[in-house]
């Protein structure tokens, strides 16, 4: 699995993006979110707050809360899968859809996850007035937004890179589009998709915790679950309860890994495209149990028959009618119509956004927010740098000892999945007790949960480092700084960049939770864009929320374009060892 980290991450490197379309994608995303929020507010009758308190701090309730949290995660994952398959397929199959959908996806994933919740809470709650279902839907949607985008990118990239000979073979044997999809395209995309599902899941725990207890203006969501339990514990200043919730989370993540993802990863290995059996195949005791026990096999047999039959249908005209090519001039005319339509919608969306934001904020707000954005940017950059300085040497040392790495690697992956916001209260207690400067001491929180991506990618890179090179370096007696600079760092650089991209993305998202933290009624706030968004979300000030989130999206996108993507391209181009 270590080797696959870089491989599948590279699928999302997105060299195919047509940049000018971003200009259209941006207003589309924000316009839509805004309309959803506004429409909801208008139809919204004064909402009776959900009954309080929903959550009891008795640890006996924790298993039930854990189950409900997990079910939310699963529901979001299913939604993400459906979204991935439809959106990804559409983007890959239709040239016209592609030019809009791909940049759109890029913007969608630069919007901070908790930003979606600020926008959409009102909308979802108005769908089910006065009932918990609305709040549930909002929370699930928030988790969905943390999972879907990278899965979709992975799927889209896989569909675009289906090996040509296999594609020709399916056409030669006259598979229908439906058959080709299930026989070739989905299986081919499977390993990348599962890898990204895992990544999404580990990111998702953070947001499920954050979205179970959130206040937007006069609407407060409190859903029974781990996150709400934590919120309650924080409000009541109960450190013991925080301890319980941490333990529960550890148990949940381990179970989830053993019962869902280990088996999935082991199973999906058969869809690996490389024909060589060089790597050791991942294994899972649970998958073995399923595949070898007669009971499970009997239970699963009808399902597999059904799925097989499902994939075997043709569902399209007989092959003799299918022709290659079509009218050129008609296609070109349609292109123009399509482009004009998209442009019109984008302009309309942009006007709506500007009008809305202008109604509540002035130019000085924009300047203010830009300044706050730079603070957060500085925080992200400095902390990624510090985390790299710490974890790169450690990761290399660990990676050079395969036995040790085998033990550390799962731990690092576990830490990456662990929702760091569970630990925030502990930091707040310390900051309050020692009267520390929040601008400095809250900063580590934004990287607390995501620094592990750097560690485990570096370990993976070191483990994949060819032994020949190491032996050559030893033979030429290279050591010290020369060894790092000439031998090891270039070799692990692509892996490091992959890890750092993930870590930075996570840090931006975490800033909304991490820059403004409370403990009971003590509130500790740092200067930053994250705090700005959090405070205005609590106050329900929509124009300011839109402004804050838009600025953050722009910063994230710019950061990606100007730093990460060139770095990634450089690493791919010059420093690949295979």
Partner 1 sequence: MVAIDTTRKPPTGEPILTVCGVSRGFERGSGGVRVLDEVDLSLRVGEIVGLLGRSGSGKSTLLRIIAGLIRPSGGQVIYRGRPVNGPADGIAMVFQTFALFPWLTVLQNVEAGLEALGVSERESRRRALSAIDLIGLDGFESAYPRELSGGMRQRVGFARALVVEPTILLLDEPFSALDVLTAETIRTDLLDLWIERRLPTKSILLVTHNIEEAVFMCDRILLFSSNPGRVAAEIEVPFPHPRNRLDSAFRQMVDDIYAKMTARPTIGVPGQLPKLQIGSRLPPVSTNVIAGLIETVAAPPYNGKADLPEIARTLQFEIDDLFPVVELLQYLGFAEITDGDIVLSAAARTFADLDTQARKTMFAERLLASVPLAQHIRHVLDERPGHQAPRVRFEQELEDYLSDSAAEETLDAIISWARYAEIFAYDDVAEMFSLEDPGG
CA dihedral 332, 159, 185, 109 (to 10 degrees): -120
- Judged by CB under 8 A, the stretch of 41-49, 124-132, 181-189, 481-489 that binds partner 1 is 181-189
The residues with which 214 forms a beta bridge, in sequence order, are 221
Separation CA 119–CA 553 (nearest Å): 14
60 near partner 1, judged by CB under 8 A = no
One of 45, 60, 295, 324 touching partner 1 (CB under 8 A): 324
Site for partner 1 in 517-546 (CB under 8 A): none
Q: Residues 515, 533: contact at Cβ < 8 Å? A: no
Non-local CB neighbours of 58 within 8 Å, separated by 6+ positions: none
315 near partner 1, judged by CB under 8 A = no
The residues with which 149 forms a beta bridge, in sequence order, are none
Please give the distance of CA 179 from its chain centroid, rounded to a whole number: 30
Number of residues this chain uses to bind partner 1 (CB under 8 A): 34
- Minimum CB distance to partner 1 smaller for 174 or for 351: 174
Among candidates 374, 454, 385, which has minimal Cα distance to 413?
454
- Judged by CB under 8 A, the stretch of 54-62, 152-160, 270-278, 334-342 that binds partner 1 is 270-278
The residues with which 219 forms a beta bridge, in sequence order, are 216
326 near partner 1, judged by CB under 8 A = no
The alpha helices in 212-327, defined as continuous H runs, are 226-235, 239-256, 262-268, 285-292, 294-312
Query: DSSP string of 440-469?
Result: HHTHHHHHHTTHHHHHHHHHHHHHHS-HHH
The least CB distance from residue 274 to partner 1, in Å, is 8
7 near partner 1, judged by CB under 8 A = no
As given in the structure block, the two tokens for residue 282 are 């991942």
One of 288, 574, 576, 577 touching partner 1 (CB under 8 A): 574
Site string for partner 1, 189-218 (x = CB under 8 A): -x----------------------------
One of 131, 240, 312, 485 touching partner 1 (CB under 8 A): 312
- Minimum CB distance to partner 1 smaller for 83 or for 178: 178
One of 39, 319, 393, 402 touching partner 1 (CB under 8 A): 319
CB atoms within 10 A of CB 121: 29
What's phi and psi for 215, nearest 5 deg? -115, 125
One of 276, 292, 298, 327 touching partner 1 (CB under 8 A): 276
The least CB distance from residue 88 to partner 1, in Å, is 19
- Judged by CB under 8 A, the stretch of 14-22, 238-246, 323-331, 530-538 that binds partner 1 is 323-331
Q: Residues 443, 382: contact at Cβ < 8 Å? A: yes
435 near partner 1, judged by CB under 8 A = no
174 near partner 1, judged by CB under 8 A = yes
As given in the structure block, the two tokens for residue 543 are 């124009």
166 near partner 1, judged by CB under 8 A = yes
The residues with which 516 forms a beta bridge, in sequence order, are 525
One of 42, 52, 320, 521 touching partner 1 (CB under 8 A): 320
One of 175, 244, 453, 508 touching partner 1 (CB under 8 A): 175
3-state secondary structure of 15: coil
List of residues contacting partner 1 (CB under 8 A): 163, 165-166, 168-176, 179, 183-184, 187, 190, 270-277, 312, 314, 319-320, 322-325, 574
């Amino acid at each position: 699995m270590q080797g696959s980290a870089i491989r599948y991450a590279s699928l999302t490197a997105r060299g195919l993006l047509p940049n000018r379309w971003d200009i259209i994608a941006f207003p589309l995303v924000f316009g839509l979110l805004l309309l959803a929020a506004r429409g909801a507010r208008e139809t919204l009758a004064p909402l009776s707050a959900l009954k309080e308190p929903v959550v009891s701090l008795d640890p006996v309730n924790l298993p039930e809360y854990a189950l409900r949290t997990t079910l939310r995660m699963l529901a979001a994952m299913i939604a993400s899968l459906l979204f991935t398959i439809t959106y990804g397929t559409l983007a890959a199959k239709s040239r016209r859809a592609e030019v809009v959908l791909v940049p759109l996806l890029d913007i969608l994933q630069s919007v901070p996850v908790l930003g979606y919740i600020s926008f959409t809470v009102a909308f979802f709650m108005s769908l089910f007035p006065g009932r918990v279902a609305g709040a549930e839907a909002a929370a699930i949607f928030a988790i969905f937004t943390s999972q879907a985008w990278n899965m979709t990118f992975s799927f889209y990239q896989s569909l675009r890179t289906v090996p040509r000979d296999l594609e020709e073979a399916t056409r030669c044997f006259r598979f229908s589009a439906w058959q080709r999809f299930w026989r070739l395209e989905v299986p081919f995309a499977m390993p990348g998709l599962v890898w990204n599902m895992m990544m999404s899941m580990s990111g998702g725990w953070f947001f499920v915790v954050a979205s179970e207890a959130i206040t937007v203006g006069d609407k407060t969501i409190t859903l029974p679950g781990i996150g709400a339990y934590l919120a309650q514990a924080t409000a009541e200043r109960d450190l013991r309860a925080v301890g319980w919730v941490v333990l529960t989370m550890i148990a949940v993540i381990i179970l989830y890994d053993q019962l869902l993802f280990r088996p999935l990863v082991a199973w999906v290995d058969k869809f690996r495209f490389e024909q060589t059996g060089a790597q050791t195949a991942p294994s899972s005791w649970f998958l073995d149990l399923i595949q070898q026990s007669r009971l499970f096999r009997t239970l699963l047999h009808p399902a597999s028959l059904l799925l097989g039959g499902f994939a075997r249908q043709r569902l399209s005209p007989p092959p003799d009618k299918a022709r290659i090519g079509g009218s050129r001039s008609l296609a070109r005319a349609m292109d123009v119509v399509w482009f004009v339509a998209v442009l019109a919608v984008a302009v309309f969306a942009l006007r709506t956004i500007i009008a809305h934001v202008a109604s509540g904020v002035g130019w000085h707000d924009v300047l203010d927010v830009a300044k706050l954005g730079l603070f957060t940017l500085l925080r992200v950059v400095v902390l990624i740098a510090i985390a790299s300085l710490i974890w790169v040497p450690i990761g290399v040392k660990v990676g050079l000892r395969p036995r040790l790495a085998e033990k550390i690697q799962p731990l690092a992956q576990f830490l990456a999945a662990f929702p760091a916001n569970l630990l925030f209260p502990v930091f707040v207690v310390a900051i309050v007790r020692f009267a520390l400067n929040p601008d400095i001491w809250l900063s580590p929180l934004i990287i607390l949960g995501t620094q592990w991506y750097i560690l485990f990618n570096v370990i993976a890179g070191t483990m994949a480092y060819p032994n020949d090179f190491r032996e050559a370096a030893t033979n030429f007696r290279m050591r010290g700084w020369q060894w790092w600079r000439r031998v090891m760092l270039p070799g692990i650089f692509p892996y490091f960049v992959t890890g750092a991209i993930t870590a930075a993305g996570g840090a931006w998202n975490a800033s909304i939770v991490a820059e403004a933290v409370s403990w009971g009624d003590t509130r500790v706030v740092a200067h930053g864009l994250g705090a700005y968004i959090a405070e205005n979300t609590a106050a329900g000030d929509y124009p300011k929320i839109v402004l804050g989130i838009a600025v953050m999206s722009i910063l994230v996108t710019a950061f990606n374009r100007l730093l990460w993507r060139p770095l990634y391209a450089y690493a791919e181009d010059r420093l690949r060892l295979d």
